[in-house]
Amino acid sequence: MIRQHPLLQPYTPSSDEPFDEVKAAHLLNRAGFGGRPDEIERVMKLGPQDAVDWLMDFPDAPADEESKTDQPDLSPVEGYPKNFRELREKLANKTPEERKALQQMLMQANREALVQVVGWWMKRMASGPFPLQEKLTLFWHGHFTTSAKDERAALLMWQQNELLRRQSAGNFREFVRQISRDPAMLDYLNNQQNKKAHPNENYARELMELFTLGIGNYTEDDIKQAARALTGWGHDGQDFVFRRFDHDDGEKQFMGRRGNFEGDDVIDIILENKACAPYIAGKLFRSFAYDVPEDGVVESLGAQLRDAKWELRPVLRTILTSKAFYQPRAVGVQIKSPIQLVVGTVRLLDLEFPQPQRLANPLNLMGQVPMMPPNVKGWPGGRMWINTSTLFVRYNTAVFLAGGAMPDSGDRLGKSFFGGKFKGPSQDRGDITGNFRPKNAAGSADELVDQWVGRLIQRPIDDEKKSVLREALGDDPNAASVRKMIQLIVSTPDYQLC
């Protein structure tokens, strides 16, 4: 039994370290996508413990169980075949030209549906009822990665997204079992092709290398044996199927044990490996608090995860209420992911969420398109988000959201990250947030600077920068000059951090 690390004990406010606006905003940034003044005030009133309880008070359920009306618009794929069997039937007795035409229509419809799913999800992040659940869904999407490229079905991507949401704070063992049966995952990592006669090792490898243990905690032979246990796990285009005749039920030697292991046995044995719990708990800590935790923090959290029989909520609660989480080194040290930047800007400026295809190209150029991770490792994050090129795109996109011009993205503007053309105004270069009028443009110039820096950056900035913003407002601030100042605030290095 490892004793809890002192830095993981609960932070309790004191007169020296009060739970102030900066700390409340910090919690809302990390456990969500940023808080508006009313939300910050609410969190301050609740205090650090109750605020976390409030944020964690979401059902372990998919969005469409939370609300029957909250679903992506999937009309683009309406009427198309639902699974491989129907597809085969539809393609039978067709000429090659007819088949090709149908496949192209399907592909186009699927791409449109994908954009709807991505847009629906981002809108949920910005204005859904449970920001922490969406933040966790995004975290797990970067962990149990699946990409929509290769024309993966939008419906399967959405179904997986709902699985990530349902399990986001649930039981990790159950999570691994379910994701290992998820059709989009089985497809992405080729377990669909993993058969007794010809094993495909791709899923088995990533299951250990990226999803549970980290590299160096298994052998090449363990991968081969795990792949055998997972043979026959596939999908029919719609649901998980277990193909008995493709399954290898023979004896396997896996991580020093011998037996006729099945897929779930392999998962259980992996979770018994002592590397697993710290790997998962540490990744959560780094994502929600900061990189490079102090010695012993990860081990302590790992022990808690094992003791809690792989329930994720207690570990999350520990992280979000800990002394570590509120240390000065933790506040404002995280570089916002492109999704955090975009969704946060929409939230903090109280904007209507733009049409998803309008954001596709900027998100692509910033390096983070939801459902299109660069590879199975997900997004590396941290300083990896920033280079001379992405920094320009980040500034330009934030300025655009704050009522500025569409960022110059050349001739690719309006084309989708899924490569398709879109109905609707995607070619329109117009100013989607042209209606953005800052609501509070009243007050003295100094008050307005403080107000908007507080609202957007949520931490103090240096006096030199403040005076530049003060200048930008002019002597007689009006809506236009306030908007101009806001565009400058979101073009600061400070705004890139949370």
Partner 1 sequence: MNDNLSTRRVFIQKGMTLLAVGATIPTFLDQTVMALANPFDTARTQKDSGKDGKILVVVQLSGGNDGLNTVVPFGDDAYHRARPTLGHDDKSVLKIDGYLGLHPNLAPVKNLLDKGDMAVVQGVGYPNPNRSHFRSMDIWQSGRPDQEVVTTGWLGRFFDNTCAGCDPHVGVAMGQQMPLAMRGERVSPLSFERPESYRYTGKDEGRYMKLNKIDLNASDAPAAPSTQPVGVAKPQAAGAKKKIEVTTPKEQLDFLHRTAMDAQVSSDDILRMTRGHNPTGYPPNEFGNGLRTVAAMIKGGLPTRVYYVSLGGFDTHAQERNRHDQLMTQFAAGVSAFWKDLEDQRNADRVMVMTFSEFGRRVEQNASGGTDHGAAAPMFLFGKHIKQGVIGDHPSLTQLDQGDLHYKIDFRSVYATILQNWLETPSKPILGQQFAPLNVVRA
- The region of 134-142, 345-353, 395-403, 445-453 touching partner 1 under the rule CB under 8 A is 395-403
Nearer to partner 1, 110 or 306 (CB): 110
Q: Which stretch binds partner 1 (CB under 8 A): 116-124, 254-262, 403-411, 422-430?
A: 403-411
The binder of partner 1 chosen from 24, 153, 324, 339 (CB under 8 A): 153
- Residue among 399, 441, 453, 482 that touches partner 1 (CB under 8 A): 399
CB of 318 closer than 8 Å to CB of 301 = yes
Site for partner 1 in 420-449 (CB under 8 A): none
- Regarding 2 and contact with partner 1 (CB under 8 A), the answer is no
The answer to whether the beta carbons of residues 451 and 380 sit under 8 Å apart is: no
In the bound complex, what is the minimum distance in angstroms from residue 418's beta carbon to partner 1? 7
**Surface-to-core class of residue 205, CB atoms within 10 Å of its CB (0-12 exposed, 13-18 middle, 19+ buried):** buried
Which of 94, 329, 429, 439 lies at the binding interface for partner 1 (CB under 8 A)? 329
Number of residues located near partner 1, criterion CB under 8 A: 120
Which residue from 48, 404, 414, 477 is in contact with partner 1, where contact means CB under 8 A? 404
Closest approach of partner 1 to the CB of residue 103, in Å: 6
Considering only residues 20-49, where is the footprint of partner 1 by CB under 8 A? none
> Which is nearer to partner 1, 419 or 434 (by Cβ)?
419
Nearest residue (CB) to partner 1, 306 versus 398: 398
Say if CB 498 and CB 334 are below 8 A apart.
Answer: yes
Q: Is 133 in the site for partner 1 (CB under 8 A)?
A: no
Indicate the residue among 184 and 317 with the shorter CB distance to partner 1.
184
Q: 56 vs 330, which CB is nearer to partner 1?
A: 330
Nearer to partner 1 among residue 231 and residue 304 (C-beta): 231
The span from the CA of 298 to the CA of 420, in Å, is 43
| Nearer of residues 50 and 73 to partner 1, judged by Cβ | 73
CB of 317 to partner 1, least distance (A): 24
Residues 339-368 that bind partner 1 (CB under 8 A): 364-365, 367-368
Contacts to partner 1 from residues 287-306, by CB under 8 A: 291-292, 294-295
Least distance in Å: CB of 127 to partner 1?
21
Nearer to partner 1, 15 or 95 (CB): 95
Residue with smaller CB distance to partner 1, 122 or 453: 453
| Min separation Cβ 331 and partner 1, Å | 7
Surface-to-core class of residue 212, CB atoms within 10 Å of its CB (0-12 exposed, 13-18 middle, 19+ buried): buried
| CA within 13 Å, CB half, 377 | 6
Q: CB of 45: closest distance to partner 1 in angstroms?
A: 26
In angstroms, rounded to a whole number, what is the distance separating the alpha carbons of residues 278 and 464? 43
Among 2, 101, 405, 442, interactor with partner 1 by CB under 8 A: 405
* Nearest partner of 343 among 320, 371, 363, 364, judged by Cα: 363
* Residue with Cβ nearer partner 1 (42 or 90): 90
Instruction: Please report how close the Cβ of residue 320 comes to partner 1 at its closest, in angstroms.
Output: 19
Q: Name the packing angle between helices 276-288 and 297-307 (round to 10°).
A: 120
Should residue 418 be labelled a site residue for partner 1 when binding is judged by CB under 8 A?
Answer: yes
Q: Classify strands 257-259 and 252-254 as parallel, antiparallel or unpaired.
A: antiparallel
Give me the least distance between CB of 53 and partner 1, in Å please.
26
Which residues in 168-187 contact partner 1 (CB under 8 A)?
177-178, 181, 187
Residue closest to 436 by CA, chosen among 486, 473, 397, 472: 486
Nearer to partner 1, 171 or 273 (CB): 171
Q: Is 388 in the site for partner 1 (CB under 8 A)?
A: yes
Name which of residues 69 to 88 contact partner 1 (CB under 8 A).
Answer: 71, 74-75, 77-84, 86-87
Q: Does 201 bind partner 1 (CB under 8 A)?
A: yes
